[in-house]
């Protein structure tokens, strides 16, 4: 009819729907980020809430169990912030105050102790550090103020400081109901496929987010203990940075180690080589012992794919894109495997 092929119409319509879907994701990315953070936070609390439910044995409501968990969580966060956050903040302020002095004494870095195997590239390494100190420190404070202002503005615009815990509360409280509503949107023929898909995604996210949190805590404790024993300057600050950057795959731990070595080097710490050896040994332990133990077989992503996802995620959505790149790739892998099995 009218010379229009039905197959061409279907292909065009599918293409338009795909473009529209990605356009929707782009223009609502801030709202989606809030919901992703809420899901992330909900999965962090899921094991604790499940244990409280099992211990209560139905004697108290799910909402009351969640309220108890939230109260304990807030008390714990306040205690940790008082114990560690104040010290890390003090060290950060001290480091910022010393930056002009470090820039003036940057010439002394040519005599700074480094591992013997780095001697052939001493000039390049120390020259790059000296150049960054001399050229970048003058603008460091304005940049930091701008960054803090942007972060505070983002918090105000998104309201995630309030919205994330609230949304997580409802995700945890109504998880079973939300699951049933999702299954109700599909036909009975597709219900088995969607149910299996939801089960796989739930298991993967629970394992991955739990493992990521535990790896971050393990990194903080290991770094803090090593820095304290080895008398590395700014121990609490560097350990906190390493714990936070642990949430960024591949690039985060590398950046944390580099920052720690540079700060120690410009501060006159004489055992940077020992730090490098520690970082290498810890990464081997974490990547080949601790991480497989915590993750089990829930992820199954090749390291090259993880690196690609982190870099692509940074280009698409900045730091948030890097953090969520691994679970997104894992979900796509689960969808692909489930779809292949359904077709075959």
**pLDDT tens digits, one per residue of 126-179:** 555 555 555 444 444 454 444 444 444 444 444 566 788 888 888 888 888 888
Q: Is residue 259 part of a domain?
A: yes
Q: Is residue 340 part of a domain?
A: yes
Question: Where is average pLDDT lowest: 3-17, 194-208, 264-278, 282-296?
Answer: 3-17
Q: Which tops the pLDDT comparison, 11 or 73?
A: 73
For the packed helices 160-173 and 29-56, what is the interaxial angle rounded to 10 degrees? 50
Q: Is residue 19 part of a domain?
A: no
In this structure, the answer to whether residues 310 and 163 fall within a common structural domain is no
CB 212 within 8 A of CB 247: yes
Decide if pLDDT at 335 tops 70: yes
Average pLDDT over residues 36-56: 82
In this structure, the answer to whether residues 144 and 248 fall within a common structural domain is no
In this structure, the answer to whether residues 226 and 165 fall within a common structural domain is no
pTM: 0.74
In this structure, the answer to whether residues 307 and 283 fall within a common structural domain is yes
Average pLDDT over residues 61-66: 78
Q: Is residue 78 part of a domain?
A: yes
Q: Is residue 123 part of a domain?
A: no
In the listed set 119, 143, 173, which residue is the last one of a domain according to the structure?
173
Q: Is residue 328 part of a domain?
A: yes
In this structure, the answer to whether residues 142 and 230 fall within a common structural domain is no
Q: Is residue 261 part of a domain?
A: yes
Q: How confident is the model at residue 55 (pLDDT cuts 50, 70, 90)?
A: confident
In this structure, the answer to whether residues 153 and 194 fall within a common structural domain is no
CA distance to 256, 269, 329, per residue, from 266 (Å): 16, 8, 39
Domain with 155 in it: 28-101+133-173
Q: How many residues does the chain have?
A: 344
Of all residues in the chain, what percent carry a pLDDT higher than 90? 10
In the listed set 144, 173, 202, which residue is the last one of a domain according to the structure?
173
What mean pLDDT is reported for the chain? 76
- In angstroms, the first-to-last Cα distance of the chain is 35
- Which pLDDT score, from 0 to 100, does residue 9 have? 64
Residue 31 burial class via C-beta count within 10 angstroms: exposed 0-12, middle 13-18, buried 19 and up: exposed
Give the count of domains, the chain: 2
Give the pLDDT confidence of 167-218 residue by residue, as tens digits.
888 888 888 888 888 788 777 777 788 888 888 888 888 888 888 889 999 9
Integer Cα distance of 138 and 133 in angstroms? 9
Average pLDDT over residues 6-34: 75
CB 235 within 8 A of CB 228: yes
- Which pLDDT score, from 0 to 100, does residue 210 have? 86
In the listed set 173, 201, 222, which residue is the last one of a domain according to the structure?
173
- Which pLDDT score, from 0 to 100, does residue 143 have? 44
How big is the chain by its Cα radius of gyration, in Å? 24
In this structure, the answer to whether residues 210 and 153 fall within a common structural domain is no
Q: Closest by alpha carbon to 165, among 42, 28, 36, 29?
A: 42
For the packed helices 251-266 and 235-245, what is the interaxial angle rounded to 10 degrees? 160
In this structure, the answer to whether residues 52 and 150 fall within a common structural domain is yes
In this structure, the answer to whether residues 160 and 220 fall within a common structural domain is no
In this structure, the answer to whether residues 73 and 206 fall within a common structural domain is no
Q: Is residue 137 part of a domain?
A: yes
Integer Cα distance of 149 and 107 in angstroms? 33
Q: How confident is the model at residue 109 (pLDDT cuts 50, 70, 90)?
A: low
Give the pLDDT confidence of 246-271 residue by residue, as tens digits.
988 888 898 899 889 888 887 878 88
Q: How confident is the model at residue 93 (pLDDT cuts 50, 70, 90)?
A: confident
- Which pLDDT score, from 0 to 100, does residue 221 have? 93
In this structure, the answer to whether residues 216 and 165 fall within a common structural domain is no
Q: Closest by alpha carbon to 232, among 259, 199, 209, 196?
A: 259
In this structure, the answer to whether residues 194 and 342 fall within a common structural domain is yes
CA distance to 10, 12, 332, 335, per residue, from 15 (Å): 9, 5, 19, 20
């Amino acid at each position: 009819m009218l010379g229009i092929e039905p197959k061409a119409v279907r292909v065009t319509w599918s293409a338009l729907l795909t473009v529209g879907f990605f356009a929707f994701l782009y223009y609502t990315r801030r709202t989606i980020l809030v919901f992703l953070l809420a899901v992330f936070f909900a999965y962090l609390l899921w094991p604790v809430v499940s244990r409280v439910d099992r211990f209560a044995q139905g004697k108290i409501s799910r909402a009351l169990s969640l309220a108890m968990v939230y109260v304990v969580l807030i008390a714990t966060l306040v205690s940790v912030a008082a114990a560690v956050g104040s010290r890390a903040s003090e060290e950060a302020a001290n480091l910022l105050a010393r930056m002009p002095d470090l820039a003036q004494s940057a010439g002394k870095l040519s005599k700074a102790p480094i591992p013997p195997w780095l001697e052939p590239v001493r000039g390049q390494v120390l020259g790059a550090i000296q150049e960054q100190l001399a050229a970048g420190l003058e603008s460091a404070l304005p940049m930091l103020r701008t960054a803090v202002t942007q972060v505070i503005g983002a918090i105000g615009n998104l309201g995630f400081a309030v919205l994330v815990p609230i949304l997580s509360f409802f995700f945890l409280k109504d998880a079973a109901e939300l699951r049933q509503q999702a299954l109700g949107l599909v036909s009975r023929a597709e219900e088995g496929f969607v149910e299996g898909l939801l089960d796989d995604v739930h298991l993967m996210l629970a394992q991955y987010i739990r493992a990521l949190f535990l790896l971050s805590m393990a990194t903080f404790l290991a770094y803090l203990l090593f820095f304290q024993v080895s008398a590395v300057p700014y121990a609490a600050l560097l350990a906190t940075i390493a714990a936070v950057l642990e949430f960024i795959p591949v690039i985060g731990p590398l950046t944390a180690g580099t920052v720690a070595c540079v700060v120690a080097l410009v501060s006159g710490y004489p055992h940077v080589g020992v730090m490098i050896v520690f970082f290498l040994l810890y990464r081997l332990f974490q990547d080949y012992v601790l991480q497989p133990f915590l993750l089990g077989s829930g992820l199954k992503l090749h390291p090259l794919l993880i690196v690609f996802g982190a870099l692509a995620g940074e280009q698409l959505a900045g730091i948030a894109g890097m953090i969520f790149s691994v679970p997104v790739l894992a979900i796509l892998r689960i969808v692909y495997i489930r779809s292949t099995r359904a077709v075959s």
